[in-house]
Chain A
Amino acid sequence: MATAPSASVEARLDIPEGTCVLTYDPLDVQSIIHSVADDGAGATAVFIGTTRNSFKGKVVTRLDYQAYSKMAIKTMANILRDAHSRYTRSDHHTAPSDTKTSSLIKSAVHHRLGTVPVGEPSIVIAVSSPHRKEAFVACELILEEVKMKAQIWKREFYEGEREDEAEWKANTGH
Chain B
Amino acid sequence: MPTITVLYFAAASTATGLTTEELPLPAPSESDNASCLPLSALADLLAARHPGTKLREVLAQSQWAVDEEMVDDPAQVDDPAQVVLRGGEEVAVICPVSGG
Binding site for B on A (CB under 8 A): 2-8, 49, 65-68, 70-72, 74, 111, 122-123, 143, 146-155, 164, 168-171
If over half of A's interface residues share one DSSP class (helix, strand or loop), that class is named, otherwise mixed; here it is mixed
With A2-B13, A168-B11 as known contacts, state yes or no: A149 contacts B97, CB within 8 Å: yes
Taken together as a complex, chains A and B put the C-alpha atoms of A67 and B99 apart, in Å, by 8
Q: By the criterion CB–CB under 8 Å, are B7 and A68 in contact?
A: yes
Q: Is B65 in the interface zone, CB < 8 Å from A?
A: yes
Give complex CA distance A147, B98 in Å: 6
Q: For B68, list chain A residues within 8 Å (CB).
A: 70-71, 74
Residue of chain B at shortest CB distance from A125: B100
**With A8-B9, A70-B68 given, is the CB distance from A65 to B99 under 8 Å?**
yes
Chain B residues close to A by CB (< 8 Å): 7-11, 13-14, 19-20, 61, 65, 68, 70, 92, 94-100
Task: Give how many A-B residue pairs fall within 8 Å (CB-CB).
Answer: 90
Q: How far is the CA of A151 from the CA of B94 in the complex (A)?
A: 7
- Give the CA-CA distance A6 to B20 in the complex, in Å: 8
Other-chain contact of A154, B7, B13, B19, B98 (Cβ < 8 Å): B98
Mind listing 22 A-B residue pairs with CB under 8 Å?
Answer: A2-B13, A3-B19, A4-B19, A6-B19, A8-B9, A67-B9, A68-B65, A71-B65, A74-B68, A111-B99, A123-B99, A143-B100, A148-B97, A151-B94, A151-B97, A153-B98, A153-B99, A154-B99, A155-B10, A168-B95, A168-B98, A170-B95
When A5-B20, A68-B94, A168-B14 are in contact, do A147 and B65 touch as well, CB less than 8 Å? Answer: no
Inter-chain contact A169/B98, CB cutoff 8 Å: yes
Contact assessment for B96 and A170 in the assembled complex, using a CB-CB cutoff below 8 Å: yes
Specify which chain A residues have a CB less than 8 angstroms from the CB of B8 in the assembled complex.
5
Q: Which residues of B contact A72 (CB under 8 A)?
A: 99
5 closest Cβ contacts across the A-B interface? A152-B99, A170-B96, A153-B10, A5-B19, A147-B100
